[in-house]
Structure 1
Amino acid sequence: MVIATWIYKILIDGFLALLSHPVPDLFSGYTPILWPLCDSLWIKTKLGFHIGSSVKLIPSFELLSEPTVFQHFQEFDAPLFTGDGLIISIILLLPSLKYKHQ
């Protein structure tokens, strides 16, 4: 029973690790996360506020889509290490450290 619980925890961690990249991408631009089932999606978010007799937060969410078009690229220019990547890495490592000490 202990092995089944351990395997279950590993599978959950693996699933969360697989989603740790494409899900945040949905908030930064069009992402073909469900391709070929549907077009590229983008969750556009805004948070405004109104100051009057009280402060009101005005959240806005919009689901946009456009056709998925894959194109060849000649070069790839992107940073290998970012602050966001560090935070995601720490979040993904925390469950492993927790299981190790149990």
Structure 2
Amino acid sequence: MSKFYYLDVSLKLASEPEQLQPVYFKSCLERSLVKIFGEIGGLTTLDVLKFDAVRSRAIVRVPVEFYVKLRTAITLTGEFQDIDCAFVVNKAAPLLLGLTDSFLEL
């Protein structure tokens, strides 16, 4: 069994920032986890494996025990750098191979 879960995540923004950086994308996800679950509940390792700034889309890896928490935080996030937003999980899989078609799109 895999130790990680992989997600293909898009960020839909009400207005586009100048250029979205992977570090801001990741920090928004991490802040969402902490905001929803607190300092201890949101404490996990979150990795952005691949990022497409043009389409605001990323392949994210999270430990399997935090998968449900991350999905919850993604669903409840409504703001990114003071801009209204919504995260969309395009696809999720316990194996990176399960996102093969997502890599082709990025």
Structures share fold, TM-score greater than 0.5: no
Q: TM-score if structure 2 supplies the norm length?
A: 0.23
User: Normalised by the size of structure 1, how large is the TM-score?
Assistant: 0.24
Kindly name which structure, 1 or 2, has the bigger radius of gyration based on alpha carbons.
Answer: 1
